[in-house]
Amino acid sequence: MTDNAGPDGPTQLEIYRRVALLKANDERSRKVILAGRLVMPYYSYRGQEIIPSVMSAVLNDDDYLVTIYRGIHDMLAKGMPLKDLWAEVAGRVDGTCKGKGGPMHLTYPKKGIMVTTGIVGSSMPIANGIAWGSRILKNGRVAVATFGDGASNIGAFHESLNLASLWKLPVIFLCQNNLYGEHTSYERATSVKRIADRAAGYDMPGVRVDGNDPIAMFKAAKQAVDRARAGEGPTLIEAMTFRFQGHVFGDADNYMNKAQKAAAVEADPVPIFRARLISEGIASEDELAAIEAEIERQIDEAVEFALASPFPELSELTTDVYAEGPAA
């Protein structure tokens, strides 16, 4: 029922627009932190930009996303406005969550970004429920749960995939396999060679794909989303990628394999994608440079907006706990 076409030129350019935004935003985040303008726990996604950029190009605006602490790339790709995002990570009232959630709990239902969790594995059970709701409402929306390779070893993964398959839910389990879970390498934590192979244990399609290849990633994402929307059930996608930085910005990352890391950085998917867009005539150097310049400008604006936004009042400490206000 789904064809196997890759993205056309305009779609690729659309994807690149996101990729460039994500990369620039990551670099700016680290710069702002290093400059001491902002203090926050920051989980860099540098190297993983292609995956969510493609996924969001395949999704509709009103499809749902449940993501994790390392998920700012997912959110930006899904359409979270830069200003709201920056104000939130700066802990200001103009943030998506009035500054109360922070970088690990950004939420933006207007673009379907329903939950960001800091608990490994917890995106999946919740995405199931959203997908169940979609199906009852027959609104055609699908839900995507993103998570890491490390998360594929925790109980919630297992329970979620079993339930989703049994219930044939319109959900996509998107594993971003960056080969590390905190300080632990893939092989030291995961007993199976390919996480995608675990899908068979749930009678669910499982596909391992090069998440840094926009064409391959597009095909895999499209197939999964089409399947979900057609009521055929969930898919597990294992998108291979790499985390260029340590687990949390500032850690020494001595636990990472130096050669493996150097090779991955050498094969940075963003400049490769960019070069191909030009070589294939999809966009000119000037066009891309203009896009990138515009992104920088928007980030400038967002950062300044965020840092000028006020902190929340202390009364916020006890609001939003219950609908009615403070209790007990």
Partner 1 sequence: MSESATKMKRVTNIQAINAAIADAMAEDDMVLVLGEDVADPEEGGVIGVTKGLSSRFGEERVKSTPIAEQAIIGAAIGASLVGFKPVAEIMLMNFTTVAMDMIVNHAAKLRFMSGGQTHVPMVVRTMTGVGMGSGGQHADYLEAWFAHSAGLKVVAPSNPADAYGLMRAAINDPDTVIYIENLPSAWTQGDAPEPGHVVPIGTAKVVKEGSDVTIVSYSRIVNDALAAAAMVEEEGISVEVIDLRTVVPWDKEAVFASLGKTGRCCVVHEAVAQFGVGAEIAAVVSKEFYGRLKAPVARLGAPYAPVPYSKPLESAYAPSARQIADEVIGLMA
Give residues in contact with a second copy (CB under 8 A): 153-159, 161-162, 165-166, 188-193, 197-198, 200-204
178: contact with Mg ion by CB under 5 A: yes
- State which residue, 124 or 130, has the beta carbon closest to ligand TPP: 124
- Scanning residues 57 to 86, which ones bind partner 1 (CB under 8 A)? 64, 66
* 114 token code pair: 């329903």
125: contact with ligand TPP by CB under 6 A: no
148: contact with ligand TPP by CB under 6 A: yes
148: contact with Mg ion by CB under 5 A: yes
118: contact with ligand TPP by CB under 6 A: yes
> What is the nearest approach in angstroms of a second copy to the Cβ of residue 153?
5
Nearest-CA neighbor of 81 among 60, 107, 57, 62?
107
- State which residue, 12 or 152, has the beta carbon closest to Mg ion: 152
Q: What is the dihedral of CA 211, 32, 262, 269, to 10 degrees?
A: 30
95: contact with Mg ion by CB under 5 A: no
- Scanning residues 123 to 142, which ones bind partner 1 (CB under 8 A)? 124-137
150: contact with ligand TPP by CB under 6 A: yes
- State which residue, 290 or 322, has the beta carbon closest to partner 1: 322
287: contact with partner 1 by CB under 8 A: no
Options 15-23, 48-56, 95-103, 267-275: segment touching partner 1 (CB under 8 A): 95-103
74: contact with Mg ion by CB under 5 A: no
Strands 64-68 and 113-117: parallel
151: contact with ligand TPP by CB under 6 A: yes
Alpha-carbon span 77 to 55, nearest angstrom: 8
Residues 6+ apart with CB under 8 A from 318: 325, 326
Options 79-87, 141-149, 229-237, 297-305: segment touching ligand TPP (CB under 6 A): 141-149
Alpha-carbon span 200 to 315, nearest angstrom: 50
> What is the nearest approach in angstroms of partner 1 to the Cβ of residue 131?
7
238: contact with ligand TPP by CB under 6 A: no
> What is the nearest approach in angstroms of partner 1 to the Cβ of residue 260?
14
Q: Which of 180, 202, 218, 273 binds ligand TPP (CB under 6 A)?
A: 180
Alpha-carbon span 68 to 45, nearest angstrom: 11
> What is the distance of C-alpha 114 from the center of its chain?
13
The answer to whether residues 133 and 145 touch, using CB atoms and an 8 Å cutoff, is no
The answer to whether residues 253 and 245 touch, using CB atoms and an 8 Å cutoff, is yes
95 binding partner (options partner 1, Mg ion, ligand TPP, none; Cβ < 5 to 8 Å by kind): partner 1
The residue with tokens 């103009």 is: 94
φ/ψ of residue 181, rounded to 5: -120, 110
238: contact with Mg ion by CB under 5 A: no
* 220 token code pair: 């895999």
- Scanning residues 3 to 62, which ones bind partner 1 (CB under 8 A)? 39-41
Alpha-carbon span 133 to 237, nearest angstrom: 22
305: contact with partner 1 by CB under 8 A: no
The answer to whether residues 73 and 148 touch, using CB atoms and an 8 Å cutoff, is no
SS3 of 91, please?
coil
213: contact with ligand TPP by CB under 6 A: no
φ/ψ of residue 212, rounded to 5: -95, -5
Instruction: Provide the total of helices (H) and of strands (E) in the chain, helices listed first.
Output: 11, 8
Alpha-carbon span 309 to 304, nearest angstrom: 9
Residue numbers at the binding site for Mg ion (CB under 5 A)? 148-149, 178, 180-181
Residue numbers at the binding site for ligand TPP (CB under 6 A)? 70, 118-120, 147-151, 178, 180-182, 243
